[in-house]
Structure 1
């Protein structure tokens, strides 16, 4: 049964928590995804099998949490993440972030570096509101964003995204590739070469920009943004286990 958490901002966040030994593995989903996605459920089953503490949740405006997607922005979802992690977990964390959740994972690493001991990202999409959306808007879209307050963008994976002016403006306050980004713990970045939502260039830019002594990028030929077939799920599982093991001896 889903549980609910009220955040300091008054939002209601739906979550599932699995008790077990630490570090707690926290899954952060992508834009317009929810905690019932294939990767989140697979990792929860993996965690339960090995007795590992695990947390998955829906950002506000996603899944079973309160609010609407169109009213949200990167900063709101960062607040949701900090609230969920602070209230529902204790001790060290290994964070797994998918797509927009990869950006959220990097923001969490900046917000509470003392708690994170490992990181795995899957098609991480840092700064996408600026580098993908805003950079890709034509003059008509920029004008519509100013006049109407939103534009609708097609997606290869679901119904169109409604991107608001607030999301773009808030995203500029949350950029992580323009300032130093310290990741002083074991890190794996996973990326499919056939991903049309997040390019391989983004993955390379991230690993080149971030600062850390145990950081690896794995490009997986032929895999797309979903990264959720059996091969990819096993790969994610393996890399989370590798990060957990590395964190024990660090």
Structure 2
């Protein structure tokens, strides 16, 4: 059963936490996903086997947390993650960020590097509101979102559409990663599938080239898609976390 954290912003964040040895591991999920996903639950089981502290949580507007998804934005969700990490963990943590969670983990790496022992990204999607959504919109779609404040897009992951709001786009521009220096002064492992239809492989290569640090590696997995949840991919995530911890 989930527990809840009331943040200074008035949001109620649902989470699952286990105690264990540190550095702990924190899983940061993707856009419109929640903490019950395959990768989050698999990593929690890994943490149990290794007696490792572990935290997974839902951003506001996601899963069991309070709030309306459409009202949220990258800055809000990064703030939720920062509150969860600072209030629910002790000492530096290894962040495991999937898709949008990769973007948020990079924002946290920039804002609070003293809280981070290492970083693992899975199909990291920094700046996706700008280099993905906005860049891919037609002029007609851009006019709709500017006029109406929202745009509905079909989703292959659920029956309900993705709703992209003007606030999400504008806030995304305030939280870009790729437009200014990015220091990652801790072990960093990036995982990316070559058949990812949502995050192009060149985004991962660009991020590798952009980031500054002495221990950063990118692993490309031929044939893996955006879910990155096959048995082989889950094993690679485990290995990446263990490598960072080692």
Q: Distance in 1 between matches of 2:24 and 2:227?
A: 24
* Partner residue in 2 for 1:52: 52
Give unmatched runs, 5+ long, in structure 2: none
Large movers: runs of 4+ above 2 Å: 154-160
Counterpart of 1:114 in 2: which secondary structure?
helix
Residue 156 of structure 1 deviates from its aligned partner by 3.0
Q: Paired residues, what number?
A: 245
Question: What are the within-5 Å matches in structure 2 for residues 1-250 of structure 1?
Answer: 1-158=1-158, 159-245=160-246
Q: CA deviation at 1:121?
A: 0.4
C-alpha distance in 2, partners of 1:156/1:197? 11
Q: Distance in 1 between matches of 2:122 and 2:155?
A: 18
Corresponding position of 1:248:
none
Q: Extract unaligned runs of 5+ from structure 1.
A: 246-250
TM-score, normalised to structure 1, is: 0.97
SS at match of 2:23: strand
Question: Alpha-carbon deviation of 1:221?
Answer: 0.3
SS in 2 for 1:41: helix
Deviations 1:91-131 (A, max 9, x none): 01100000000001001101111121110000000000000
Cα separation, 2, equivalents of 1:143 and 1:83: 35
Q: Describe the SS at the equivalent of 1:117.
A: strand
